[in-house]
Structure 1
Amino acid sequence: MNRILLTLACLALPITAISTNVVPANAAATMTELGDLSPLIALASDTLGLINRGDMAAASARITSFESVWNADASALRALSNDKWGVIDDASDKAIAAVRTGNPVSAEATAAVTALIAALENPLAPVAAVGSATAVTDANGRPLPCEDMLAAVRAAVAASPPAAADQTRVDALQGKGIERCNADDDRRADDFFAQALTLLGK
């Protein structure tokens, strides 16, 4: 976890001016199987504070700093606990997308970043779905075959190509979904594909 702290230290100098939140008391002792996640909670909490102030440009910069720290240690964290890493990674993807979209909606960004903080504090707890109403399970609660979900995304794109502002997000979600599908992780793949379908209005 020293790499997280070191990466955070390297990022802190250029973004200090936009930090507006006091780190929550529970962040100081947030230890999980993934190690000390308090630096990440601090960045997410700062992002939430900036959203609450209505400063979406600064919030976007802050969530980008979070993304850099999280991605720097992705391989090491995933090796410690793939399941817990996955819960946080899902929440982080949704938060980053909600904050950095071309026309961010404050309520959606707030919900997504709040869910991210909750995942960081307790990666075993289920995280509420944000930004997707597409069904991803069958009648028995089993994940739908990710290949079917991917086919649905591709059909939706072919039928109605996304607006330029959404194209990058759709491509990123599709790429992440394919990665998880290739790893036989239908549950997470379906979630990414469902988010892409929501952006496509499906």
Structure 2
Amino acid sequence: MQSGGYKFIVVKADKIDLDVRTQISEIFAEGFTQWLGYFSKDKNIIAKAFAHMFVLDQFYVAIANDKVAGMTACTDGKTLSVRLNKKELRKHLGFFKGSMARIFLKKEFESPFENFPPNTGSIEFVGTAPDFRGQGAASQIIQHIFENTPYNDYVIEEVADTNTPAMKLYKKLGFEEYKRKPIPEKMAKKNGINNLLSLKYVKK
């Protein structure tokens, strides 16, 4: 598929012979460092600390010029897309912060959804490498997921209301907001985020 001069090939992350894990962890670090600043403000350290956690058979990647341009996980709402390893976290973040990361992020990343509806896919960890932003990588991955997974509906949980590029992309793809969760005032002041939005796409 041609977009912005790049021909992206979308594949499952466990089916490609590249160092996918390193590259998707760099994309993750780029997109999530503002959330993970307590553990380290260094994107390289964040990338190394979390590279182990991705369950590659739950991820799709867009490839261009032998590089990972974007990534997205799609699960059935029960299967985990990431698994945290305390030893790995401690190795890169130090004993205390590595232990804290495991405690705090296990709840955030590894809690299964309650009452997750049947025939629904959960879209998670959408990210694009800086060099490929605005080229259509994320939208091509999500379109590929729509066309190649068996679900009728898809949800994206807890998108920050300040994440304008992401919201613009999801709305363009046909997602609609169905729930919003206000952020506690103290955290809202710190992060500048007021609400976390949940979005849903229903196949026509």
Superposition TM-score tier, normalisation by shorter sequence: under 0.3
Pick 1 or 2: higher relative contact order, CA cutoff 8 A, min separation 6.
2
- Structure number with the higher strand fraction is 2
- Structure number with the higher helix fraction is 1
Structure 2-normalised TM-score? 0.26
